[in-house]
């Protein structure tokens, strides 16, 4: 399931978001990562990709990630980003 | 061509008139003029109406930026800085900061953005400026280099390290410990108000740190720079248009060896080059602005491409314009002479030619298994 399709099928599951994120990372940085791997600490994320990630999540899940949500801790791992997406989508729908 | 900001364009045209040559020679812009433009929201036209801005899209603001860039790159560079500041606040500020600071930035207060440091130019990851906790607030220490508009600014958006991440902090230019040291005689954008800034134990309330800080440094500066790249790219389109207009106007009327200059094929060939530069740069900027407006992740790379293409064309077009005008364009203050000096610097800022090419090469390689 693509991220776009995931966004259609509410409510989105953590597993679906994780899978879509792993696929996006594999496509963009040509590396398969673990869901709990520190992406920023490991140098896998270029400065360009850091912003692309944010814009991608906003576009794919129809959420706005701004202000205090843009913290390193929310982006460090696939798990953290998944939690962020689920929380912001729930806030938007709730 | 976009008409959405026609009134704003006319307002700028009226205020600016034929003064850019004198501003270039004096190395200074009238600060009241900047405040007037700021209070109309023109310096950061993409700020949404809900925050007091003009709510322009990237394409419309791009055309406005090109218009200003064609008149005066110093003024356009102030627009770029104000726009980066507003964009950074919009992305990273919390609700209260967005409301308060975007009202300031569309209400006549002027901002500059400080990334570069003596040891961190192209490599911003080497940034050393620190934003540390200090009681209930923060204290900022560091040195920043070549900050456009710092001389006129009320607010400095300063990027620095914060915990194990980074932050952008909004520093009033008159806060104790802030030292703004103007650069005496820049090569180009001479009236841009560039200054080196020393921050020594600058104490500020916690509410000065956008979104509470703790962002990844790379995300922070790429987000800010991406707006800057769009703005510089469109500003370069303006430089190229000014060169094209100046060169065609001159070569059509000045006669040498029994015919207008434009009637000599070697001259005509260069006019064609200018037109190609103007069209190519406009198209690549439009393309990037559409990516920006649609919120595509590709906007990050498209902005680099647009900036690189337009800056290169602007530098070459300015050299061509000086060549075709010859002595008529060789006087400081003249459109061609200003373009020649200003455009060269566009190949350095917001990602130099080399840095842009490295990013583009990475992008090209990313598609290869
Ligand atoms: C007109 C103007 C306005 C500016 N406004 C601002 C502003 O508002 N705010 C701000 O913070 N800064 C500003 N700057 C500073 C600007 O961002 C830096 O000049 C720029 O990042 C380059 O850094 P540097 O000058 O230290 O050059 P360096 O980084 O020392 O580079 C020198 C040369 O080496 C090349 N180079 C460097 N690293 C590499 C590499 N890895 N591979 C290949 N080549 C490399 C560069 O491309 C360049 O040609 C401004 C500069 C100018 C000229």
Model pLDDT for residues B27-69, shown as the tens digit of each residue = 999 999 999 999 999 999 999 999 999 999 999 999 999 999 9
CATH of domain B218-366: 1.20.140.10
Q: In this complex, is the C-beta atom of B313 within 8 Å of any C-beta atom belonging to chain A?
A: no
| DSSP conformational letter for B214 | -
Is domain B6-110 classified as CATH 1.10.540.10? yes
pLDDT digits (tens, 9 = 90+) for B102-151: 999 999 999 999 999 999 999 999 999 999 999 999 999 999 999 999 99
Domains defined along chain A, listed by start: 3-93 (1.10.1200.10)
Q: Mean pLDDT across chain B, nearest whole number? A: 97
pLDDT digits (tens, 9 = 90+) for B181-205: 999 999 999 999 999 999 999 999 9
Is the per-residue pLDDT at B2 higher than 60? no
> Which residues does chain A have with pLDDT short of 70?
1-10
Q: Which residue in chain A is spatially nearest to B227 when comparing CA positions?
A: A51
Chain centroid to CA B191? 13
Residues of chain A with C-beta less than 8 angstroms from the C-beta of B218: 40, 45-47, 50
From CA B77, how far away is CA B67, in angstroms rounded?
12
pLDDT digits (tens, 9 = 90+) for B146-156: 999 999 999 99
**Residue B167 contacts residue B131 (beta carbons within 8 Å):** yes
The whole-number pLDDT of residue A5 equals: 53
The whole-number pLDDT of residue A2 equals: 54
Closest protein CA for atom 32 of ligand 1:
B122
Q: Considering only A4-18, B221-235, B309-323, which range has the smallest mean pLDDT?
A: A4-18
From CA B324, how far away is CA B5, in angstroms rounded?
33
Structurally, at CATH architecture level, domain B112-214 sits in: Beta Barrel (2.40)
Sign of CA dihedral B66, B69, B70, B71: positive
User: Count of CB atoms within 10 A of residue B269's CB?
Assistant: 9
* pTM for this predicted structure: 0.95
The whole-number pLDDT of residue B175 equals: 98
Q: Residues 284..303 of B with a Cβ closer than 8 Å to A: which?
A: 295-301
From CA B79, how far away is CA B81, in angstroms rounded?
5
The whole-number pLDDT of residue A29 equals: 82
Domain-by-domain residue ranges, chain B? 6-110, 112-214, 218-366
**Residue B267 contacts residue B251 (beta carbons within 8 Å):** yes
Best mutation target, A72, A76, A77, to test chain B (most B CBs within 10 A): A72
Q: A46 to chain B, minimum CA–CA distance in Å? A: 7
**Residue B52 contacts residue B102 (beta carbons within 8 Å):** yes
B216 contacts A46? CB cut-off 8 A: no
Q: What is the mean pLDDT of residues B305-323?
A: 98
- With the most atoms of ligand 1 within 8 angstroms of its CB, the residue from B76, B117, B121 to mutate is B121
* Residue B354 CA to ligand 1 centre (angstroms): 10
Percent of chain B clearing pLDDT 90 (strictly above): 97
pLDDT digits (tens, 9 = 90+) for B60-110: 999 999 999 999 999 999 999 999 999 999 999 999 999 999 999 999 999
């Amino acid at each position: 399931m693509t991220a776009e399709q995931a966004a259609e099928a509410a409510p989105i599951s953590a597993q679906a978001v994780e899978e879509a994120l792993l696929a996006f990372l594999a496509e963009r940085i040509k590396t398969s990562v673990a869901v709990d791997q520190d992406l920023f600490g490991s140098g896998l994320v270029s400065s360009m990709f850091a912003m692309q990630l944010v814009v991608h999540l906003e576009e794919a899940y129809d959420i706005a990630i701004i202000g205090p949500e843009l913290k390193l801790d929310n982006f460090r791992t696939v798990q953290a980003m998944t939690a962020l997406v689920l929380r912001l989508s729930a806030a938007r729908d709730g | 061509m976009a008409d959405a900001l026609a009134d704003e364009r006319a307002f700028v045209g009226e205020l600016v008139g034929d003064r850019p040559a004198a501003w270039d020679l004096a190395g200074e812009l009238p600060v009241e003029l900047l405040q007037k433009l700021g209070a109309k929201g023109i310096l950061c036209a993409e700020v949404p109406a809900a925050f007091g801005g003009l709510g322009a899209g990237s394409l419309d603001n791009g055309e406005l930026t090109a218009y200003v860039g064609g008149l005066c790159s110093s003024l356009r560079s102030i627009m770029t800085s104000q726009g980066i500041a507003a964009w950074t606040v919009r992305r990273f500020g919390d609700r209260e900061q967005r409301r308060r600071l975007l009202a300031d930035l569309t209400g006549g207060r002027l901002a500059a953005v400080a990334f570069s440091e003596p040891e961190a130019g192209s490599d911003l990851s080497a940034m050393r400026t620190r934003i540390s906790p200090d009681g209930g607030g923060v204290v900022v220490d560091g040195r920043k280099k070549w900050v456009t508009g710092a001389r006129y600014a009320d607010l400095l958006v300063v990027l620095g390290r914060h915990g194990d991440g980074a932050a952008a902090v909004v520093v009033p230019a008159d806060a104790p410990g802030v030292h703004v040291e103007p650069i005496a005689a820049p090569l180009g954008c001479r009236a841009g108000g560039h200054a080196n800034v020393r921050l020594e134990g600058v104490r500020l309330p916690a509410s000065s740190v956008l979104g509470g800080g703790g962002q990844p440094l790379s995300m922070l500066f790429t987000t800010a720079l991406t707006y800057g790249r769009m703005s510089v790219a469109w500003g370069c389109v303006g430089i190229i248009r000014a060169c094209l207009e100046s060169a065609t106007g001159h070569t059509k009327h000045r006669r040498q060896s029994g015919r207008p200059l434009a009637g000599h094929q070697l001259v005509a060939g260069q006019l064609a080059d200018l037109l190609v530069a103007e069209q190519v740069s406009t198209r690549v900027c439009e393309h990037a602005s559409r990516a920006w407006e649609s919120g595509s992740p590709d906007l990050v790379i498209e902005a680099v491409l647009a900036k690189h293409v337009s800056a290169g064309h602007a530098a070459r077009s300015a050299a061509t314009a000086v060549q075709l005008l010859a002595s008529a364009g060789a006087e400081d203050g003249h459109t061609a002479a200003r373009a020649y000096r200003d455009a060269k610097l566009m190949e350095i800022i917001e990602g130099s030619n080399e840095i842009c090419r490295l990013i583009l090469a990475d992008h090209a390689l990313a598609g290869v298994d």
